[in-house]
A = this chain, B = another copy of it.
Amino acid sequence: MQEPTFLILTALATGPKHGYGVTQEVAELSEGTVKLRAGTLYGALDRLVEQELVMVDRQEIVDGRLRRYYRLTDAGAGKLAEQARRLRKHAEAAESRLQARPNVAFGFTATPFGARP
């Protein structure tokens, strides 16, 4: 599972949202670093529905525009929990290994012989 997909599931964890709402929620929870494009968003949602990690909650028509709400299934919540644990483990592994690494504490220090800037 890739990052956009993971974040979509995370956004849906607090309750049903429609596609556009997911985009906003993802932008927020990622501190503005991830802005989902339409292609990514709806493509991922379709796949998630197919995999039954997400389902269509309901749909409304507001101002003549369709608004389709999605929500996590139990399987989706389970999958998200599993993936979150996985990510955390990986992040911890990386961070502890980086600490053990003497050089490059903050930004730029010793670039060993022969390396370019």
* Chain A residues engaging chain B, CB cutoff 8 angstroms: 2-3, 6-7, 9-10, 13-14, 29-31, 33, 52, 55, 72-74, 77-78, 80-81, 83-95, 97-98, 100-101, 103-104, 107-109, 111, 115-116
Contacts and interface: CB of A to CB of B under 8 A. Distances in A.
B77 A98 contact: yes
Interface of chain A, helix or strand or loop or mixed? Answer: helix
B90 A104 contact: no
Given A2-B2, A10-B97, A84 B91 contact: yes
A31 B6 CA distance: 21
A81 B98 contact: yes
B95 A84 contact: yes
